[in-house]
Amino acid sequence: MRSIALANQKGGVGKTTTAIHLAHGLTLAGQRTVLFDLDPQGNATLAMQGMDDGGHDPTGAFAPLRPLGPDLWILPSPGAERVVPRTAQLDVRRLVQLADSLASEGVDWLVIDCPPRMDAWGWAGLQLSQEVLIPVPPEFFPMHGLSQMVATLREAAAEFPGRAGLMGYLVTMLDPRESVALEVLEDLRENLGDRLLSTLVYRDPRLVEAASHGETVFRYNVFSKGARAYGELVREVMYGR
> What residue ranges bind ligand ATP (CB under 6 A)?
11-17, 39, 41, 43, 116, 172-173, 201, 203-204, 207-208, 211, 226
Distances (CA, A) of 113 to 23, 117, 147, 158: 10, 12, 20, 21
Judged by beta carbon, residue 43 or residue 129, the one nearer Mg ion is: 43
Return the one option of Mg ion, ligand ATP, none that residue 14 interacts with (CB less than 5 to 8 A, by type). Answer: ligand ATP
Judged by beta carbon, residue 16 or residue 129, the one nearer Mg ion is: 16
**Interface of this chain with Mg ion, residues 3 to 62, rule: CB under 5 A:** 15-16, 43
**What count of other Cβ atoms lies within 10 Å of the Cβ of residue 152?**
19
Degrees, nearest 5: CA angle 44-48-50 = 150
Judged by beta carbon, residue 67 or residue 125, the one nearer ligand ATP is: 125
Total residue length of the chain: 241
* Closest separation in Å from C-beta 79 to Mg ion: 11
* Closest separation in Å from C-beta 62 to ligand ATP: 24
Contacts with Mg ion by CB under 5 A lie at 15-16, 43
